[in-house]
């Protein structure tokens, strides 16, 4: 069964068609990349999947449930989590607290019990902290748990965003340019982390990425968007040899990578 | 869009046909007149309908309602232009900085107080009685504009500019502070001078009320009168609105303001001194507010340091109603709100047989409109399509 | 910096000596004893007592900031606030009234802090909920209720106690009612709309004497009931204190409000440290990112609004009963601004900061400004050129206005900002480390507001 099944998604802003009749299906346990030149509609597509925008047309099934038009927080609670292209952490909260916020949908202490701080609440809170620290340890940030998120170096901020997304125990994780602005070593570490998410945690991962080395190295399937339309789909080899892709994107991309 | 491109092309060549200027300047005025006539007609219709609904129980209600109708419309016009001229200050600043200048109502108030001070000076030096009415009006408006404009620029420099780029609510809180400080500073000054807390705004004699026409309703014909002060208020406001339209839509300075409102960083890269433009926006908005304050004081006869607060809030409502950031919208919003308030104030009591006092509930009506507009149509009456951000 | 290093460390040494270790205990006890002695032996209202009273309150702050054993801190504060201050109150009614007022405003400011400080929603009409609670008790406990319907009769005064809870619920209800339509709005619009709503409530209070007299309009409601003095026999016979009814009521309201404030502090503190508090903070920091974590935006904002409003509603009941009289101007915009100033002055989101802000503003209002007014009057009589119509107590707008502007420009995070890492650093029990961290200046003037 497909974990995500988005059919014929279309979204227009005024006169501009940002996403045009795009279909994307993802099987459980896969690493899938969505690539395309800047402005191709990749992030808009993510925003539609996560409920920030409502699609004008099309259906989205997530784990068998229709989610098109649902509120963002409801979709997140169903187990779809994301990171943001331009890192959106809770800057003035600590690293640990950021992860705890990510666990919000899994904490159920009732209001009145919080007020009396019942044993149940204390247990839940202690467990949450422990779990959050596990998640931080998983991405290698446990030592920095008491620092403010804004004081972390750039690469750590990216990893914290992933830890926060992991805290929601997602089935599907959407990573929007997880290595943007990283140096080669950091990119390698990030690639490794993404692979581990799937191999060790069994997560399904969708990536938006510009770094072709990373895309080609870890994606099992690649979808290419250009001007809001899906122009190609397939494994790395297929995409590499697809003339439309080369024309629209890889030609420039390959030249850039070579240089 | 097309009009803008054309305007650009023609101004770059330095030539600009007279008819084109007329169109950019009077186009918005046409829109304004449309909304004035429209809302007056619509509200009058509502009044007649409500009267007809009650006519079984109270046979005289239609006559009573119609008797006061022309006066309500004049009142609505005066209120409308008052809100419009204050709303312009809000909307221009919002257009450029995306910031609600909460203290703008106090800038308006200062204009009124300064006008009262001028009138007190003239009265005590014996010049007032013999002064031509027109000269007096021009004098108080000019003084009000200068002082309020300068004050607005000072406030921007001292209390807002250091906070540019801070989270949105930080300058807003500072603006609330400015509003309170100005209220009490003016009170301090007024109560320690001959002005007093409730300062009289003396004027020369503007002559008897103008009888426009007579309505034949029932027993006696009812005269429809236009007080000369109301006429002054309306004429002066319309002239100011036209002048502002000319400034913003047909001059180089106006183009710089519009460019800054569109995109501040880019405008700055194009060689526009953004700080200067922001100051200019405050100057223009403040001057308009000051003029409105002087006119308001002249019309009402007294001013006090707290008189700016509620009109300020309502003018903000008007700006939102018309579509904040949109100059024509602010005028339209002001006029529509003014009519609505005048009708509620005059007819609520009549139609509920005195159970509710219209004057108090007019305020509630205004705030309800603000809330409803923000919830259901945050882009305002003129909406996105014709939005001309300052 | 390096040239003053020795003097700084000397200052640090003195500070450490006075706030920790054996010398710290000695200093605190001595300080408390001297202040108490001065207050109890010289209870007349004058400038000297004012100063001692302020020093007395300052001690609470010092104890809170010191590094002494928690039990000692609590015991010392308890003795001061629950023993010395009430006894002083029997000698001089003015200062205990100031303390009671401060308590009311602490509770209100902490409630507003949930909305503004925790969730980042600028509410300029907060006093509306206070008004709702006050009018609730004002109308239902007095013959005003018979004007609404002659068949109804006032509730007995003993119902005051359950009505505190009813005020809580009614406040929360109004919070949801007013919040529901407006909480989707962007921050600055929300501020203006809540201001409008606050004005609407005040206008209604002013005008709902017609067609049915519900609020008695601008006349206000008089002779609001106080709860019966059930403990009067105990105090007079068992303890042998011959206090008048007036004094007993003062003591009653002082202790009642002290208790409420304690409860509010505990509640607010627990919310802050819970999943709910974290969700509020996340919303304040970045709404889009918060939704992406599955946080239901509107529901959490409504909860913040309701919690803040419920405190105001409950305090309204107590306030009406204590004041005996309420009218619409009691609940004007200036009061909302007043409470907002407390939150901003102390530090948005910081519980100790907000308490500090509330006490400071109340002292300014009730003690310091009137004292300055006296000084100015004397100076004027002595022939100094002071404007005749200048009475500082009448210029609160000027004061709070300046305060808001200056705080926003120079210290938007408040005087005592939230120290989020303190607790966790103390877990490690490494004092030098803690000092190291505490000294890092927060140069960014961020207050999580958008």
Smallest CA–CA distance, residue C52 to chain A, in Å, is 37
Distance CA C82, CA C79 (A): 6
C184 and C202 belong to one structural domain? yes
Q: Do A76 and C294 touch (CB under 8 A)?
A: yes
* Amino acid C426: pLDDT: 38
Shortest CB distance from B360 goes to which of C192, C207, C401? C207
Q: What is the mean pLDDT of residues A68-73?
A: 92
* β-bridge pairing A31-35 and A57-62: unpaired
pLDDT range class, residue A204, cuts 50, 70, 90: very high
Average pLDDT (C377-389) is 79
Predicted local distance difference test score (pLDDT) of residue A233:
92
Nearest to A104 among C271, C293, C424 (CB): C293
Pairing of strands A2-13, A16-27: antiparallel
Q: Would you state the pLDDT for residue B84? A: 93
Give the pLDDT confidence of B92-116 residue by residue, as tens digits: 999 888 899 999 999 999 999 999 9
| Mean pLDDT computed over every residue of chain C | 88
Q: Is the pLDDT of residue C433 over 60?
A: no
Q: What is the pLDDT of residue C442?
A: 37
Average pLDDT for A113-134: 95
CB B240 within 8 A of CB B285: no
Report the range of poorest mean pLDDT among A32-36, B95-99, C253-257: B95-99
Size of interface A-C (CB pairs under 8 A): 100
CB B176 within 8 A of CB B102: yes
Minimal Cα–Cα distance from B369 to chain C, Å? 10
Structurally, how many domains does chain C consist of? 2
- Measure the CA angle with vertex B126, ends B124 and B127; round to 5°: 115
The alpha carbon of residue B165 and the mean position of all alpha carbons in its chain are separated, in whole angstroms, by: 29
What is the reported pLDDT for B278? 94
Q: What is the pLDDT of residue B271?
A: 87
Quote the CA–CA distance of C203 and C208 in Å, as a whole number. 8
Tell the residue number behind the tokens 């692979």, with chain if given: A195
CA gap C319, C312 in Å, rounded: 10
The chain C residues in contact with chain A (CB within 8 A) are 267, 270-271, 274-276, 278-279, 281-282, 285-286, 288-297, 303, 420-421, 424-425, 446, 448
> CA of A47: which chain C residue's CA is closest?
C292
Q: Residue C359 falls within a domain, yes or no?
A: no
Determine the average pLDDT of the residues in B275-301: 94
How far is the alpha carbon of A93 from chain C, nearest alpha carbon, in Å? 8
Give how far C219 is from chain A: nearest CA, Å. 40
Q: Do the chains contact at C294 and A93, CB–CB below 8 Å?
A: no
Mention every residue, 6+ apart, whose C-beta is less than 8 A from residue C353.
Answer: C346, C347, C414, C415, C416, C417, C418
C215 and C256 together in one domain: yes
Residue C272 has pLDDT above 60, yes or no: yes
What's residue B26's pLDDT?
77
- B199 sits in which H/E element: strand B199-200
First to last CA, chain B: 14
Q: Does B159 touch chain C (CB under 8 A)?
A: yes
Band (B319; pLDDT cuts 50, 70, 90): very high
CA dist., res. B82 & res. C429, Å (int): 65
Q: How confident is the model at residue B150 (pLDDT cuts 50, 70, 90)?
A: very high
Give the least confident one: B14-23, B152-161, C417-426. Answer: C417-426
- Chain A neighbors (3+ CB pairs < 8 Å): C
Residues C271 and C188 in one domain: yes
Give me the mean pLDDT over the C123-128 stretch. 95
pLDDT score for B154? 97
| CB spacing of A105 vs C294 below 8 angstroms | yes
Percent above pLDDT 70 for chain A: 95
Q: Which residue is associated with the tokens 């009067």?
A: C232
Rounded to whole angstroms, the Cα distance separating A27 from A3 reads: 5
CA angle B264, B269, B274 (to 5 degrees): 45
Using only C-alpha atoms, chain A has a radius of gyration, in whole angstroms, of 19
Query: Could you count the other beta carbons within 10 Å of the beta carbon of residue B52?
Result: 12
User: Which of the residue ranges C15-24, C302-311, C365-374 has the most confident prediction, judged by mean pLDDT?
Assistant: C302-311
The enclosing H or E element of B302 equals strand B302-303
Contact B357 C207 (CB under 8 A): yes
Number of other residues whose CB lies within 10 A of the CB of residue A63: 16
Quick one: average pLDDT of B353-369? Answer: 84
Buried b (16+ CB within 10 A) or exposed e, C346-362: bbbbbbbbbbbbbbbbb
Over chain B, what is the mean pLDDT? 87
Over residues B292-317, the mean pLDDT reads 94
Do residues C81 and C211 both lie within one domain?
A: no
pLDDT bin (cut points 50, 70, 90) of residue C233 is confident
Domain-located, residue C13: no
Distance CA(C115)–CA(B65), nearest Å, equals: 46
In this structure, are C223 and C254 located in the same domain? Answer: yes
Reply yes or no on whether the pLDDT at C245 is more than 70: yes
Task: Flag whether C373 is in a domain.
Answer: no
pLDDT mean over B64-74: 90
Most distant CA pair in chain C, distance: 80
Instruction: Please tell me which chains touch C, using 3 or more CB pairs under 8 Å as the contact test.
Output: A, B
What pLDDT was estimated at residue B10? 41
Domain check: are C254 and C319 in the same one?
Answer: yes
Q: What is the pLDDT of residue C159?
A: 95
Residues C151 and C276 in one domain: yes
pLDDT of residue C4: 52
pLDDT band per the 50, 70, 90 thresholds, residue A181: confident
Give the angle subtended at the CA of B333 by the CAs of B280 and B346, to the nearest 5°. 130
Give mean pLDDT, residues B352-375.
84
Strand positions, DSSP E, B93-188: none
C277 alpha carbon, distance to own chain's centre: 20
Task: Look at residue C396 in the predicted model and tell me its pLDDT.
Answer: 86
B226 is written with which tokens? 């236009």
- In-domain check, residue C2: no
Query: How distant is the Cα of C211 from the closest Cα of chain B, in angstroms?
Result: 5
Mode of pairing for the β-strands spanning A172-176 and A204-208: parallel
Q: Is A168 a residue whose pLDDT tops 90?
A: yes
Give the list of residues 6+ apart from residue C284 with CB closer than 8 angstroms, or none: C118, C119, C120, C349, C448, C449, C450
pLDDT digits (tens, 9 = 90+) for C146-170: 999 999 999 999 999 999 999 999 9
* Token pair belonging to B283: 């100057």
Q: Tell me the average pLDDT across B295-300.
A: 94
Same domain, C78 and C162: no
The enclosing H or E element of B222 equals: strand B221-226
| Whether C32 and C144 share a structural domain | no
Instruction: Choose the weakest-confidence range: B214-223, C112-121, C269-278.
Output: B214-223
Asked if pLDDT for residue C418 goes beyond 90, the answer is: no
- State the pLDDT at residue C6: 59
The answer as to CATH 1.10.3470 being correct for domain B27-203+224-376 is: yes
Q: What is the band of C431 on the pLDDT scale with cuts at 50, 70, 90? A: very low
Alpha-carbon distance A230 to nearest alpha carbon in chain C (angstroms): 26
User: Where does the pLDDT of residue C7 fall: very low under 50, low under 70, confident under 90, or very high at 90 and above?
Assistant: low
The highest-confidence range among B1-10, C87-96, C436-445, by mean pLDDT, is C87-96
Q: Is C393:C363 a contact under the CB 8 Å cutoff?
A: no
In the numeric block, which tokens belong to residue A90?
């809770």
Q: How confident is the model at residue C357 (pLDDT cuts 50, 70, 90)?
A: very high
Residue numbers in C near A128 (CB within 8 A): 275
Helix, strand or coil for residue C247? helix
Interface touch C192/B370, C-beta < 8 Å: yes
Tens digits of residue pLDDT in C10-56: 888 888 888 888 888 999 999 999 999 999 998 888 888 999 999 99
Mean pLDDT (whole number) for C286-292: 94
Which of A115, A125, A149, A166 to probe the C interface (max C CBs under 10 A)?
A115
Structure tokens at C394: 């009448």
C120 with C85, same domain: the answer is no
| Cα B377 to Cα B320: distance, rounded to the nearest angstrom | 9
Residue B9 pLDDT: 40
Give residues 186 to 225 of B whose Cβ lies within 8 Å of C: 187-188, 191-192
Q: What was the pLDDT predicted at C345?
A: 94
> Which of C36, C71, C91 lies at the terminal end of a domain, its last residue?
C91
Q: What is the pLDDT of residue C427?
A: 39
Q: Distance (Å) from the C-alpha of residue B102 to the closest C-alpha of chain C?
A: 9
**In which band, very low, low, confident or very high, does the pLDDT at B384 lie, cut at 50, 70 and 90?**
low
The reply to whether C362 falls in a domain is no
User: What is the rounded CA–CA span in Å between residue C306 and residue B32?
Assistant: 42
Q: Mean pLDDT lowest for which of B207-221, C248-262, C302-316, C415-429?
A: C415-429
pLDDT surpasses 60 at C5? no
Helix (H) or strand (E) holding C31: helix C21-41
Pick C360 or B17 by higher pLDDT: C360
Beta strands in C330-383 (DSSP E): none
Residue C422, pLDDT score: 43
Do residue C146 and residue C64 come from a single domain?
no
Share the mean pLDDT of chain A. 91
Query: CA of C235: how far to CAs of A132, C138, C232, in Å?
Result: 54, 28, 5
Report residue A82: phi and psi, to 5°: -140, 165
pLDDT over 70 at B6, yes or no: no
Compare CB distances from C295 to A81, A104, A146 and report the shortest one's residue: A104
The residue range of the domain holding C59 is 20-91
Helix and strand counts by DSSP (H, E) for chain C: 21, 0
Closest CA to A136 of A146, A126, A125: A146
Token couple for C361: 């503003």
pLDDT confidence of residue B166:
87
Question: Chain A partners of C275 at a C-beta cutoff of 8 Å?
Answer: 100, 103-104, 107, 109, 114, 128
- Distance (Å, whole) CA C150 – CA C153: 7
A85: which 2 tokens? 């292209």
Q: Is the pLDDT of residue A254 over 70?
A: no
**What integer pLDDT is reported at residue B1 of this predicted model?**
36
C285–A91 CB contact, under 8 Å: yes
Residue carrying structure tokens 């001297």: C34
At B241 the three-state DSSP class reads: helix
C365 in a structural domain: no
Buried b (16+ CB within 10 A) or exposed e, B162-180: bbeebbbbbbbbbbbbbbb
Q: DSSP string covering chain A, please?
A: -EEEEEEEEEEEETTEEEEEEEEEEEETT-EEEEE-STTSSHHHHHHHHTTSS--SEEEEEETTEE-TT--HHHHHHHTEEE--TT----TTSBHHHHHHHHTGGG----HHHHHHT-HHHHHHHHHHHHHHHHHHHHHT-GGGTTSBGGGS-HHHHHHHHHHHHHHT--SEEEEESTTTT--HHHHHHHHHHHHHHHHHH--EEEEE---HHHHHHH-SEEEEEETTEEEEEE-HHHHHH-HHHIIIIIHHHHHHHH-
- Nearest one of B215, B208, B214, B213 to B231, comparing CA atoms: B208
Mark whether C146 and C31 lie in a shared domain. no
Substitution target from B173, B355, B380 for chain C, most C beta carbons within 10 A: B173
Pair type for strands A57-62 and B199-200:
unpaired
CA-based max dimension of chain B: 71
Alpha-carbon torsion angle C132, C137, C139, C142, nearest 10:
-160
Q: Does the pLDDT of residue C275 top 90, yes or no?
A: yes
Contacts of B361 (CB under 8 A, 6+ apart): B344, B348, C203, C207
Average pLDDT of B342-349?
Answer: 90
* Side-by-side strand order, sheet with A31-35: A80-82, A172-176, A204-208, A31-35, A221-226, A229-234
């Amino acid at each position: 069964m497909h974990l995500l099944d988005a059919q014929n998604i279309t979204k227009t802003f005024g006169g501009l068609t940002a996403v045009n009749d795009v279909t994307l299906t993802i099987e459980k346990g896969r690493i899938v990349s969505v690539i395309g030149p800047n402005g191709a509609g990749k992030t808009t597509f993510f925003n539609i999947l996560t409920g920030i925008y409502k699609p004008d047309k099309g259906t989205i099934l997530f784990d068998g449930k229709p989610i098109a038009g649902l509120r963002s927080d409801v979709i997140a609670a169903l187990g779809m989590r994301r990171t943001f292209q331009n890192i959106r952490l809770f800057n003035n909260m600590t690293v640990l607290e950021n992860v705890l916020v990510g666990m919000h949908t899994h904490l159920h202490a009732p209001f009145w019990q919080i007020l009396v701080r019942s044993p149940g609440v204390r247990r839940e809170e202690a467990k949450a902290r422990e779990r959050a620290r596990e998640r931080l340890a998983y991405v290698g940030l446990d030592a920095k748990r008491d620092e403010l998120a804004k004081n972390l170096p750039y690469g750590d901020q990216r990893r914290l965003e992933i830890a926060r997304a992991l805290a929601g125990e997602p089935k599907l994780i959407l990573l929007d340019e997880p290595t943007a602005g990283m140096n080669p070593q950091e990119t390698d570490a990030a690639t490794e982390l993404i692979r581990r998410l799937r191999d060790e945690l069994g997560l399904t991962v969708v990536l938006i990425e510009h770094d072709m080395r990373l895309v080609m190295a870890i994606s099992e399937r690649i979808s290419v968007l250009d001007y809001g339309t899906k122009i190609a789909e397939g494994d790395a080899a297929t995409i590499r040899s697809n003339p439309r892709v080369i024309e629209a994107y890889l030609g420039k991309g390959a030249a850039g990578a070579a240089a | 869009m097309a009009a803008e491109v054309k305007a650009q092309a023609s101004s770059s060549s330095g030539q600009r046909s007279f008819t084109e200027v007329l169109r950019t300047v009077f186009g918005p005025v046409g829109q304004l007149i449309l909304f004035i006539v429209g809302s007056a007609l619509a509200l009058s219709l509502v009044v007649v309908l409500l009267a007809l609904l009650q006519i079984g129980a109270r046979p005289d209600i239609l006559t009573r309602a119609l008797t006061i109708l022309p006066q309500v419309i004049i009142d609505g016009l005066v209120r409308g232009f008052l809100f419009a001229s204050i709303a312009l200050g809000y909307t221009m600043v919002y257009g450029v900085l995306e910031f609600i200048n909460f203290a703008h109502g106090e800038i308006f108030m200062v204009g009124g107080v300064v006008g009262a001070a001028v009138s007190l000076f003239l009265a005590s030096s014996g010049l007032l009685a013999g002064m031509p009415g027109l000269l007096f009006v021009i004098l108080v408006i000019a003084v009000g504009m200068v002082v309020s404009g300068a004050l607005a620029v000072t406030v921007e420099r001292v209390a807002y500019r250091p906070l540019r780029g801070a989270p949105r609510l930080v300058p807003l809180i500072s603006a609330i502070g400015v509003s309170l400080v100005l209220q009490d500073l003016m009170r301090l000054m007024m109560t320690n001078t001959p002005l007093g807390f409730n300062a009289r705004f003396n004027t020369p004699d503007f002559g008897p009320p103008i009888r426009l026409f007579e309505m034949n309703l029932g027993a006696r014909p009812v005269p429809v009168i236009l007080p000369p002060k109301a006429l002054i208020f309306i004429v002066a406001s319309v002239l100011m609105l036209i002048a502002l339209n000319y400034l913003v839509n047909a001059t180089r300075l106006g183009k710089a303001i519009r460019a800054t409102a569109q995109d501040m960083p880019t405008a700055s890269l194009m060689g526009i001194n953004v700080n200067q433009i922001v100051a200019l926006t405050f100057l223009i908005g403040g001057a308009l507010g000051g003029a409105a304050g002087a006119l308001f004081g002249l019309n009402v006869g007294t001013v006090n340091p707290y008189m700016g607060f509620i009109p300020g809030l309502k003018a903000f409502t008007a700006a939102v109603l018309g579509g904040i950031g949109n100059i024509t919208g602010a005028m339209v919003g002001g006029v529509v709100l003014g009519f609505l308030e005048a009708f509620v104030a005059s007819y609520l009591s009549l139609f509920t047989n005195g159970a509710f006092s219209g004057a108090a509930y007019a305020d509630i009506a205004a705030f309800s409109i603000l809330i409803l507009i923000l919830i259901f149509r945050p882009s305002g009456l003129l909406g996105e399509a014709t939005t001309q951000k300052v | 910096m390096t040239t003053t290093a020795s003097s700084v460390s000397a200052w640090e040494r003195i500070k450490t000596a006075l706030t920790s270790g054996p010398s710290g205990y000695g200093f605190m006890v001595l300080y408390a004893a001297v202040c108490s002695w001065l207050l109890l032996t010289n209870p007349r209202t004058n400038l000297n007592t004012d100063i001692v009273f302020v020093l007395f309150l300052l001690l609470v702050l010092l104890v809170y900031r010191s590094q002494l054993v928690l039990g000692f801190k609590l015991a010392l504060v308890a003795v001061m606030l629950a023993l010395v201050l009430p006894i002083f109150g029997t000698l001089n009614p003015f200062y205990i009234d100031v303390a009671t007022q401060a308590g009311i405003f602490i509770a209100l400011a902490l409630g507003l802090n949930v909305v503004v400080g925790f969730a980042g929603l600028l509410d300029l009409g907060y006093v509306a909920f206070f008004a709702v609670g006050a009018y609730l008790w004002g109308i239902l406990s007095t013959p005003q209720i018979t004007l609404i319907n002659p068949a109804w009769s006032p509730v007995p005064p003993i119902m005051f106690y359950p009505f505190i809870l009813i005020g809580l619920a009614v406040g929360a209800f109004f919070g949801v009612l007013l919040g529901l339509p407006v909480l989707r709005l962007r921050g600055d619009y929300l501020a203006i709309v809540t201001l409008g709503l606050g004005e609407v409530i005040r206008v209604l209070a002013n005008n709902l004497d017609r067609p049915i007299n519900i609020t008695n309009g601008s006349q206000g409601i008089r002779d609001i009931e106080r709860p019966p003095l059930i403990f009067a026999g105990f105090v007079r016979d068992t303890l042998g204190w011959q206090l008048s009814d007036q004094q007993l009521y003062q003591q009653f309201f002082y202790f009642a409000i002290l208790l409420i404030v304690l409860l509010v502090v505990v509640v607010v503190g627990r919310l802050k440290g819970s999943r709910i508090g974290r969700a509020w903070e996340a919303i304040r920091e970045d709404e889009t990112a918060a939704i992406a974590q599955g946080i239901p935006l509107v529901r959490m904002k409504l909860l913040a609004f309701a919690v803040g409003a419920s405190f105001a509603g409950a305090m309204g009941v107590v306030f009406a009963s204590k004041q005996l009289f309420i009218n619409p101007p009691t609940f004007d915009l200036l009061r909302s601004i007043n409470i907002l100033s407390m939150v901003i002055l102390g530090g948005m989101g910081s519980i100790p900061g907000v308490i500090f802000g509330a006490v400071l503003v109340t002292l300014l209002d009730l003690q310091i400004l009137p004292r300055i007014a006296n000084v100015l009057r004397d100076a004027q009589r002595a022939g100094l050129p002071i404007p005749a119509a200048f009475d500082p107590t009448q210029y609160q707008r000027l004061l709070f206005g300046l305060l808001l502007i200056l705080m926003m420009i120079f210290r938007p995070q408040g005087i005592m900002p939230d120290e989020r890492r303190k607790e966790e650093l103390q877990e490690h029990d490494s004092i030098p480390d803690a000092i190291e961290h505490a000294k890092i200046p927060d140069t960014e003037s961020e207050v999580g507001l958008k």
